[in-house]
Amino acid sequence: MDSLAVDHLIRKLDSCSELTRSERIAMRKAEPEIRRFGAHEELVREGAPAGGVSFVIEGITCRYKLLRDGRRQIVAYSLPGDMCDLRIFILERADHSIGSVSSGAVAILPRTVLQNLTRKYPGVLHSLWCVSLAEEAITREWLVNVGHRTALERAAHLICEYFYRMQAVGLVRDASCEFPFTQAELADSLALSPVHVNRVLMQLRRAELIRFESHTLHVLDARELQSIAGFSPHYLQVAHRLRGSAEIARALAENPRQPARRR
Amino acid sequence: MDSLAVDHLIRKLDSCSELTRSERIAMRKAEPEIRRFGAHEELVREGAPAGGVSFVIEGITCRYKLLRDGRRQIVAYSLPGDMCDLRIFILERADHSIGSVSSGAVAILPRTVLQNLTRKYPGVLHSLWCVSLAEEAITREWLVNVGHRTALERAAHLICEYFYRMQAVGLVRDASCEFPFTQAELADSLALSPVHVNRVLMQLRRAELIRFESHTLHVLDARELQSIAGFSPHYLQVAHRLRGSAEIARALAENPRQPARRR
DNA sequence: CGATCGTTTGAGTTTGATCAAATGTGGTGG
DNA sequence: CCACCACATTTGATCAAACTCAAACGATCG
């Protein structure tokens, strides 16, 4: 079960920048702690001392910041395979909170384990860096979203991005996927009031672009939805067609610190 | 002159995660190309094929994204010592544009040079990763800013952040520093109209919190300004008190690929 | 079968946008 | 040194997108 959890992480890192066989083997030796959670819980509070590095293996989590007046801005969602918060690896304390959207589970690697891995296998370090850059690209797009798009465009854009990312991790079937968000959570992501989120979602449904059923999202007209959102998936495509990084990874692998089995 | 430029980069990386002597020496061998620019120019257009990795050695640059309708969102400013866009190191093409705010100069390292550095010196790789994480923290704070703060708070917050960062690179004297931004640029950063930026800036000046003189910003009441902004510099302090990263860097240095001179 | 939480709907308000024009200001060339 | 131009800032008036408040409706669960 544990090794299955690490496979999520390996797949993620591998998709960003190819790992060598020896790196994969080393990673599989890690035995993360599994922590289950319910929906809409607080997992890590801002300011909490940094624990291990965790990644989602099931369900959805989010990162958010709270303001003085209690309002919050969700700054990112983590889908299965995503790191909950890489920055924790480097900081003393969490610089924002982490919560769950749906129920699910995270795997937690003690920081020392990851430190040892990055120490011995620079390819892992490189992959982690790539993951960070990919996340930043998404954050930037959110900034554009909240800053310069109308409420309708914003909502459509978030749905497009979510759908794309769910697709990328194989969680979409028949143009539909889980959609566990409350409208209040969407509001905190989009910087809109819950009431207004309700109205724009209704607009999208009435236009027959999407449909909700229990907690499932159906995308009825992806093309039109993307058009309204001004969505272009380009910023998400960090995973593939990396330039140069494959060579780096290979070069790093040529002189591994740890004896590496070659195929 | 060139080596002086690289020193900026070394200082930056070193502040995030300590470099070893050999890493510094190796970096000093790099001979970046220097490119000067005037104020308010476009330096890299979104979609342009990726060139070298550049960092600011004088003046201020910004990253921005353009929307269909021509509006733009500035997503980051780069002060002297900052990388203009690290992500370019990994992508085929720029996924957003880069422009200048003031006149100044950037140093450009061919990608192959940086690739070789990261290949031979994982400590450099680690530092670059830390830099990326620090940048992401700023982007997230901008997202909170644009998403959940009022126009006045937003403007105050941006000024606080800018002032803090300028201080960090030693460009503040007597509570004042260069301030080359046009109100239109501030508007594009804060997701406000230029007219409204004018009004809130006026409010801050009338409250005697700041003063502008030619292109200089004077902060008259930093405490009150921060209070209005809800600014806490915590998210900026990645540079120091890193946890564990020093040990990583040291461990990496113990087995350098390249023969390293020891003091 | 309440109770709780999330969603929906309506009415009035506010923040910040837009449009338009006036007023600085710095730079250039005569 | 001045006239002029381009550009940035300032001010006023009007408008619209999204917020707030309030209440009703609906689902889910013990």
Residue B230 belongs to a domain with what CATH number?
Answer: 1.10.10.10
Chain A nearest C-alpha distance from B113 (Å): 12
User: Distance, in angstroms, between A67 CA and closest chain B CA?
Assistant: 8
- CA–chain centroid gap for B227, Å, is 24
Footprint of strand D on the protein (CB under 7 A): A 150-152, 191-193, 195-196, 214; B 40, 182-184, 194-195, 198-199, 201-202
Domain final position from A134, A169, A187? A134
* Element spanning A205, H or E: helix A194-206
Cα dist from A221 to A48, A150, B226, whole Å: 43, 20, 46
Q: Are residues B90 and B205 in the same domain?
A: no
For residue A126, give the nearest of B125, B148, B245 by CB distance: B125
Among B101, B134, B167, give the residue marking a domain's end: B134
Are both B92 and B159 inside the same structural domain?
no
Question: If we measure between CA atoms, which residue out of B121, B112, B157 comes closest to residue B24?
Answer: B121
Per the CB < 8 Å rule, is A67 touching B149? yes
Nearest to B136 among A122, A132, A238 (CB): A132
CATH number at B75 reads 2.60.120.10
One domain for residues A15 and A130:
yes
* Residues A154 and A128 reside in one and the same domain: no
Predicted confidence (pLDDT) per residue in A178-207, tens digit: 999 999 999 999 999 999 999 999 999 999
Q: What is the mean pLDDT of chain A?
A: 88
A246 vs B contacts (CB less than 8 Å): none
Let me know whether A167 and A248 are in one domain. Answer: yes
What average pLDDT does range A210-239 have in this prediction?
91
**How do A216-219 and B33-37 pair as beta strands?**
unpaired
Which pLDDT does position B255 carry in this prediction? 45
Q: What is the pLDDT of residues A61-101, one digit of tens each?
A: 999 999 988 889 999 999 999 999 888 888 888 889 999 99
Q: In what order do the strands lie in the sheet with A210-213?
A: A176-178, A216-219, A210-213
Q: Is B143 part of a structural domain of the chain?
A: no
Domain-embedded: residue B263: no
pLDDT for res B40 = 93
Whether residue A245 lies inside any domain: the answer is yes
Q: Average pLDDT, whole number, for chain B?
A: 87
> Mean pLDDT across the stretch B9-35?
88
Q: For residue A122, which of B132, B29, B26, B129 has the smallest C-alpha distance?
A: B129
| A105 DSSP β-pair partners | A36, A58
For A26-69, write each residue's pLDDT tens digit: 899 888 999 999 999 999 998 889 888 999 999 999 999 999 88
Q: How many domains does chain B have?
A: 2
CA atoms of A14 and A208, how far apart (whole Å):
38
Q: What is the pLDDT of residue A238?
A: 64
Kindly state whether residue A140 falls inside one of the protein's structural domains.
Answer: no
The reply to whether residue A235 touches residue B118, judged by beta carbons under 8 angstroms, is: no
**Sheet harboring B33-37: ordered strands across?**
B33-37, B104-109, B53-58
A113 and A179 fall within a common domain? no
Chain B residue numbers with beta carbons less than 8 Å from the beta carbon of A132 are 129, 132-133, 136
Q: Are residues A119 and A155 in the same domain?
A: no
Residue-level pLDDT at A75: 97
Q: How far is the CA of A194 from the C1' of C1 (A)?
A: 29
Q: Is the CB of B39 under 7 A from strand C?
A: no
Choose among A132, A124, A128, A134: nearest CA to A19: A124
Is there a domain that residue A197 lies in?
A: yes
Helix (H) / strand (E) element for A72: namely: strand A72-78
What pLDDT sits at residue B2? 55
* Total number of residues shown for chain A: 263
Stretch B173-186: mean pLDDT, rounded? 95
Overall average pLDDT of the B10-17 stretch: 87
Distance from the A71 Cα atom to the nearest Cα atom in chain B, whole angstroms: 8
Among the candidates B109, B134, B159, a domain finishes at B134
In a domain, B259, yes or no: no
In 3D space, the residue among A141, A135, A139 whose CA is nearest the CA of residue A230 turns out to be A141
A20 and A70 share one domain:
yes
pLDDT tens, position by position, B97-155: 999 999 999 999 998 999 899 999 999 999 999 999 999 999 999 999 999 999 999 99
Q: Which regions of chain B does DSSP assign to beta strands (E)?
A: 33-37, 42-44, 53-58, 61-66, 72-78, 97-100, 104-109, 176-178, 210-213, 216-219
CB A249 within 8 A of CB A18: yes
d(CA A116, CA B244): 11
Nearest nt to the CA of A199 via C1' is C8
Rounded to 10 deg, the angle between the A122-148 and A2-16 helix axes is 70
**Residue B260: inside a domain:** no
Residues B32-86 have pLDDT tens digits of: 999 999 999 999 998 888 888 999 999 999 999 999 888 899 999 999 999 998 8
> Averaged over B233-255, what is the pLDDT?
57
Residues A100 and A209 in one domain: no
Tell whether A142 is covered by a domain: no
Residues A17 and A116 in one domain: yes
Contact A90 B235 (CB under 8 A): no
Task: Give strand pairing partners of B106.
Answer: B35, B56
Tokens encoding A159? 């749905």
Query: Cβ contact (<8 Å) for B65 and A135?
Result: no
Q: Please tell me the distance from the alpha carbon of residue B130 to that of residue B111, in angstroms, as a whole number.
A: 19
pLDDT at residue B180, as a whole number: 96
The answer on A161 and A129 residing in a single domain is no
- Whether residue B257 has pLDDT greater than 60: no
Question: Is the model's pLDDT at A256 over the cut of 90?
Answer: no
List the single range of B2-6, B143-147, B239-243 with lowest mean pLDDT: B239-243
Q: Residue B181 sits in which domain range?
A: 149-254
Residues A7 and A111 reside in one and the same domain: yes
Those residues with Cβ within 8 angstroms of residue A210's Cβ, 6 or more apart along the chain or in another chain: A159, A201, A204, A217, A218, A219, A220, A225
